[in-house]
Amino acid sequence: MLDCRQVLAEISNYLDDDVALELTHAIEKHLARCHRCWVVYNTTRRTLEIMSDCLPTAAPIPVSERLHARLRQLYTAGN
Amino acid sequence: MKPRNSETSLNRRVRAADEDLPLVDRALAGDTQAFDELVHRHQSRVYRTTLSVTCNPEDAEEALQDTFLNAYRHLREFRRDSRFTTWLTRIAINAALQKLRHRRENVSLDDPDLPESMHMPKHFESWQQNPEQLYATEELRRIVQEAIAAVPPAYRVVLVLRDLAEVDTVEAAEVLGLTIAAVKSRLLRARLMVRERLAARFEKRPGWKSKFVRAGWMVRGMMTGRLAKLPGQKEVN
């Protein structure tokens, strides 16, 4: 039987699906009966989603244009 | 450090799967369009990486430029024992850390060995249904960036690589020169630190409705206790 501390230590690996099957079952059993650990698990999962969703997925166009301008200078200097 | 025993098979697999290598070869032969294509493929991921490490748009842009300018200048030094993206990410992380060092001193990747209290959860309330909808997009972005910025750089770079640049654990260990166990341990702490910051904003607070419901349960408990004592009253469950 896992205690809260042991579950917390594996929360990140569990989210990454990077724990052995037996440990996965033990974690799930604990999460089903421990509300606090379930909240930590669920809100950590939401943290990753929110982090990923709200940061820019593309470099802004002016940033990209200035990068290409710098590269063109470098290409010309190299030739 | 990368485990030596799996290096050969891993690298063989990596080489076979690395779709950037034909472009690298053409760029090395002097084809600047091929290098432009590499930039096109990777600039967004690199920008996301430099922005998340530096937490500053100007520094992120300079680090983005430094990354590709250095990659172009040193392309011959790319030894194909890792994927091109791993090599590029290593340059991007170094460029971003360089910007941080210009602003602050002592940006070390050594484990700061912080006390457990720094990452142990303190908020245990559930979050609101759709916390993203509580804030405008720009405000939410600022909140998340502040939460990431509050994580010490030695942990933040791991978080950025794994959760924002989508680099796997083995590659992250390779980029940072850490063991896989150290990457996992730092990632756990970084994720919990960001969660803690967001929890302070997103968790449900007991509003009037839940207070009313809680008060109702208390009154019900008191009443049922009294009613149960009245003569001739059936026991209330």
Q: Examine the domain organization and report whether B91 and B23 are in the same domain.
A: yes
Q: Among residues B175, B157, B183, B179, which one has the least CA distance to residue B97? A: B157
pLDDT digits (tens, 9 = 90+) for B51-110: 999 989 999 999 999 999 999 999 999 988 889 999 999 999 999 999 988 887 567 788
Q: Examine the domain organization and report whether B150 and B164 are in the same domain.
A: yes
Residue B31 near chain A (CB below 8 Å) = no
Q: Examine the domain organization and report whether B40 and B60 are in the same domain.
A: yes
Can you give the pTM of this predicted structure? Answer: 0.80
Question: Which of B117, B140, B144, B185 is best to mutate for the A interface (most A CBs within 10 A)?
Answer: B144
Q: Are A57 and B48 in contact (CB under 8 A)?
A: yes
Nearest-CA distance A43 → chain B (Å):
7
End-to-end alpha-carbon separation of chain A, Å? 67
B56 three-class SS: coil
Residue A41 with chain B: CB contacts under 8 Å: none
Which among A16, A59, A70 has CB closest to B69?
Answer: A70
Q: Examine the domain organization and report whether B219 and B185 are in the same domain.
A: no
What is the spatial distance between Cα B196 and Cα B193, in angstroms, rounded to a whole number? 5
Q: How many domains does chain A have?
A: 1
Residue numbers of the domain that contains B221: 206-237
Residues of chain B with pLDDT under 50: 1-10, 12-13, 15, 214, 217, 221, 224-237
Q: What is the pLDDT of residue B216?
A: 56
Q: Examine the domain organization and report whether B230 and B128 are in the same domain.
A: no
What is the spatial distance between Cα B135 and Cα B145, in angstroms, rounded to a whole number? 14
**CB within 8 Å: A8 and B125:** no
Q: Examine the domain organization and report whether B214 and B191 are in the same domain.
A: no
Q: Examine the domain organization and report whether B110 and B167 are in the same domain.
A: yes
Q: Examine the domain organization and report whether B198 and B229 are in the same domain.
A: no
Q: What is the pLDDT of residue B178?
A: 94
Q: Examine the domain organization and report whether B220 and B161 are in the same domain.
A: no
Is the interface score ipTM higher than 0.90?
yes
